[in-house]
Amino acid sequence: MQGSIYTAFSDMIVEQMGMEQWNELIEQTDPPSQGIYTSGEQYLDSELINMVQALSIKTGIDVEPLIEKFGRYLFKKLYDTSPVDISNLNNLKSFLLVIDNLIHVEVKRLHPEAYLPTFEYETIDDNTLIMYYSSKRKLCHVSIGLIFGAADQFNETVLIEHPECMHHGASRCKLVINFKGHNE
């Protein structure tokens, strides 16, 4: 996985739980990288998975909500370093609609070795968008967290349903996003 994911994860742990907790996680999971991450490099997926599992045991929070929480945090970091100028997008839906065919295309151009999930879209009505998530990594909960993070960015409220999931035998995850509009 792309190093920028790891630097964000490390930032989140250090900011929210302290350096000591980060060092403890590294000690516990003993990653090949020794926990030293550079945004442009690639690291083993298992390093992140192992740290999330260790953190889940430590905090008593289930893995899925933990991953979602991380996704929400990660959004801000990714948004701030977006390779595409997205400053003209002023609402969540228009942003979500350009992830697959604009933002990911550019990320892939800059980092050909990066493996990215793919999204397919289905518009139900003005307030409802379906995003079908496919990835060999099956990190749908990161995507859900990222969408909540994007909603924070645009100061909007969303509801997300996840009626079909790769973890439960579906070929792709179905995320039903219901836009509730701008926050007061």
By CB under 5 A, name the binding residues for Zn ion. Answer: 140, 165, 173
CB of 114 to Zn ion, least distance (A): 21
CB of 167 to Zn ion, least distance (A): 6
Of 50 and 135, the one with the shorter C-beta distance to Zn ion is 135
Of 111 and 172, the one with the shorter C-beta distance to Zn ion is 172
CB of 164 to Zn ion, least distance (A): 8
Q: For the chain, give the DSSP string.
A: -BHHHHHHHHHHHHHHH-HHHHHHHHHHH--TTTT---TTSB--HHHHHHHHHHHHHHH---HHHHHHHHHHHHHHHHHHT-SS--TT--SHHHHHHHIIIIIHHHHHHH-TT----EEEEEEEETTEEEEEEE-TT--HHHHHHHHHHHHHHTTEEEEEEEEE-GGGT-SSEEEEEEEEEE--
Of 112 and 169, the one with the shorter C-beta distance to Zn ion is 169
Of 111 and 141, the one with the shorter C-beta distance to Zn ion is 141
CB of 140 to Zn ion, least distance (A): 3
